[in-house]
Amino acid sequence: MTKSDCIITCGIDMAEYARLFTYEALTEDTCAVTGYEGSEPVSLLIPGTAPDGRRVVAIGDRAFSNRTSLRAVTLPDSVESIGVRAFAFCTNLLDVRASAESRLCSIGARAFMGCERLTVLRLGRLRGLTEMGRNAFAYCTRLRSVVLPEGISELAPSLFEGCSALEHIHLPASLTAIRTAAFSACKSLRVLTLPASLRVIEDCAFAWCGHLTDLRLPEAACVISGSAFMECVALSDVLKVG
């Protein structure tokens, strides 16, 4: 528990704290968090249950977008989805926490776009996460390292576009497709091993990755767009296989 979490959990009654959030009913038993009405937050501990007893299963579209004071978010295990632009342009967001018991399975389009202080994404333990929308982490310009969970079958268009500090990416063995511009302009990426399961690399998937020097392709047949590695000026003419 961090100091900011302690302030929330030890210094404020959790039932009263939950009333600072706004909610949208989804079913008789579930709801989405749609916003926060307290003072500008530094740390948010998303409630697992709304004041009316409904279980929180989603973070709504644009729920916390442009909250520039926000530095840390802790998600309850009950959350299954993060909506479109839910945390977009939270420019000081450093830490997003979800436990190994998290039910998170979907991250919406542009959910964390422009969160330029995020540095590490450790998603590997989120075994239920199978979907990430387009531009979900685009222009997170300080993002250096990403570990993706098994179960992800494709990387959405422009998923990490413009993540100019990205140096390390662990791709899961379940991956079959890298869509358009998924890693476009990730200019710090140097070494990349593609999983044996990969079958499609679309247009501009790694375009303008100017420092990419070591690329290991899968041995099985893989359809690669002619522009997939456009302007990868440091990449050898002979790509390594296996």
Structural contact between residues 110 and 138, judged by C-beta atoms closer than 8 angstroms = yes
To the nearest whole percent, how much of the chain has pLDDT over 90? 82
Average pLDDT over residues 18-41: 96
Nearest to 79 by CA among 104, 98, 43, 99: 104
- 1-108 adopts what CATH topology? 3.80.10
Please tell me whether the overall predicted TM-score, pTM, comes out greater than 0.85 for this model.
yes
Superfamily of domain 119-242: Ribonuclease Inhibitor (3.80.10.10)
DSSP-derived 3-state class of residue 18: helix
Biggest CA-to-CA distance, the chain? 62
Mean pLDDT to the nearest integer, 167-187: 96
139 pLDDT higher than 60: yes
Other Cβ atoms less than 10 A from the Cβ of 154: the count is 20
Q: Write down the mean pLDDT value for the chain.
A: 91
pLDDT over threshold 80, residue 164: yes
Q: What is the pLDDT at residue 218? A: 87
Note the pLDDT tens digit of each residue in 53-94. 999 999 999 999 999 999 999 999 999 999 999 999 999 999
What tens digit of pLDDT does each residue of 198-229 get?
A: 999 999 999 999 999 988 888 887 999 989 99
pLDDT-derived band at 242 (thresholds 50, 70, 90) equals very low
Locate the domains of the chain by residue range.
Answer: 1-108, 119-242
Mean pLDDT, rounded, for 5-14: 56
DSSP-assigned letter for residue 51: T
Is it true that 1-108 and 119-242 share their CATH fold?
yes
- What pLDDT, on the 0 to 100 scale, is given for residue 181? 98
What's 7's DSSP letter?
A: H
At 173, is the pLDDT very low, low, confident or very high (cuts 50, 70, 90)?
very high
φ and ψ at residue 9, rounded to 5 degrees: -80, -30
